[in-house]
């Protein structure tokens, strides 16, 4: 999601490779990668953690180039239910941490402002996911329930 409230200077950061082909040095086939994804998902990892594990430990740079499908699509095909999208859960976890910080430090106005920004991002993402059918139409962000959701 693009930054709305502050602008970042410069263009540093990691970039995905331009080529959509799988490198020849990858030792795993698409079937083996799907089996690894299924194994890690059954262990309780989300798709972001699975991608990092495959990259760091198994030398698979991009699953989409290897298998032709994303990790979350592979998980759905294998029958593993994804309750909430990863980016939404990361933002909710961040907002819960900010709320805990504000309860202890009541005069931290900068963090309060950033909390408003984060919660507005959450609401926009929830609207997007409800429209696309990844969340039920009645689901809404509630800070009290979010703390229970993150645990």
Q: What pLDDT, on a 0 to 100 scale, did the predictor assign at position 63? A: 94
Mean pLDDT of the chain: 91
Of the chain, the percentage scoring pLDDT greater than 70 comes to 95
Q: Where are the domains of the chain?
A: 30-77, 86-150
pTM assigned to the model: 0.81
**Band of pLDDT at residue 13, cut at 50, 70 and 90:** confident
| Alpha helix segments (H runs only) across the chain | 30-42, 47-58, 63-67, 71-77, 86-104, 109-131, 143-150
Residues 97-127 as b/e (b if ≥16 CB within 10 A, e otherwise) read ebbeebeeeeeeeebeebbeebbebbeebbe
Q: Residues 58, 28: contact at Cβ < 8 Å?
A: yes
Task: Select from 3.40.50.300, 3.40.50.720, 1.10.287.10, 3.50.40.10 the CATH code of 86-150.
Answer: 1.10.287.10
């Amino acid at each position: 999601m693009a930054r709305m409230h502050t602008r970042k200077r410069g263009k540093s950061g990691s970039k995905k490779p331009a080529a959509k082909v799988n490198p020849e040095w990858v030792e795993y086939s698409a079937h083996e990668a799907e089996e690894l994804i299924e194994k890690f998902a059954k262990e309780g990892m989300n798709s972001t953690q699975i991608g990092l594990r495959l990259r760091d430990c198994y030398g698979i740079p991009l699953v989409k180039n290897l298998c032709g499908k994303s990790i979350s699509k592979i998980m759905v095909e294998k029958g593993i239910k994804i309750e909430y999208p990863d980016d939404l859960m990361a933002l909710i976890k961040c907002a819960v941490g900010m709320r805990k910080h504000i309860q202890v430090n009541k005069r931290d106005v900068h963090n309060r402002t950033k909390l408003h920004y984060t919660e507005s991002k959450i609401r926009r993402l929830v609207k997007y996911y409800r429209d696309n059918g990844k969340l039920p139409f009645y689901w809404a962000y509630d800070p009290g329930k979010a703390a229970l959701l993150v645990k």
